[in-house]
């Protein structure tokens, strides 16, 4: 399984051919965090866009928050919020990847590169 970061999905939605080709070439199961789904929906301009986003989101396996993910995110926040400006969504997304032992495909390497054991796919 590969976990897709929000910025990757935004590029797909923008019809970025390079991103679409890169993601299409991946053979493992593609998943997203429920936090990523929330971030996309928050960015919608109206209910019609929310409907379209829900259809798009349904293409991926969604990983929902569970106690182990929350605990890992809390540890990440305690360790990196002040030193690296780690925010709550990124902590939850990276905790999801860590707990599911899945690499994270992201275009924002700087947001995650300092987290030990987190495998980044760029």
- As a whole number of angstroms, the distance between CA 47 and CA 61 comes to 23
How far, CA to CA in Å, does 47 sit from each of 12, 42, 62, 70, 86?
A: 20, 11, 21, 29, 30
Q: Tell me, what's the pLDDT at 27? A: 83
pLDDT in the model for residue 122:
77
pLDDT over threshold 90, residue 1: yes
CA angle (103 as vertex; 80, 52 as ends), nearest 5: 95
Residue pair 73/91 in contact (Cβ under 8 Å)? The answer is: yes
Domains of the chain, first to last: 2-121 (3.40.50.1010)
Phi and psi torsions of 62, nearest 5°: -100, 130
Give this prediction's pTM.
0.94
* Rounded percentage of the chain residues whose pLDDT exceeds 70: 100
Phi-psi region of 106 (alpha: psi -120 to 50; beta: other; left: phi over 0): beta
pLDDT tens track for 22-73: 999 998 899 999 999 999 999 999 999 999 999 999 999 999 999 999 999 9
């Amino acid at each position: 399984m590969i976990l897709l970061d929000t910025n990757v999905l935004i590029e797909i939605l923008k019809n970025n051919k390079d991103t679409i080709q890169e993601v299409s070439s991946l053979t493992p199961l593609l998943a997203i965090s429920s936090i990523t789904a929330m971030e996309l929906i928050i960015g919608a301009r109206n209910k019609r866009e929310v409907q379209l986003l829900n259809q798009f989101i349904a293409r991926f396996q969604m990983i929902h928050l569970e106690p182990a993910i929350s605990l890992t995110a809390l540890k990440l926040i305690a360790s990196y919020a002040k030193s690296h400006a780690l925010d709550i969504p990124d902590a939850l997304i990276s905790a999801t990847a860590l707990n599911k032992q899945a690499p994270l495909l992201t275009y924002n390497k700087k947001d995650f590169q300092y987290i030990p054991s987190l495998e980044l796919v760029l």
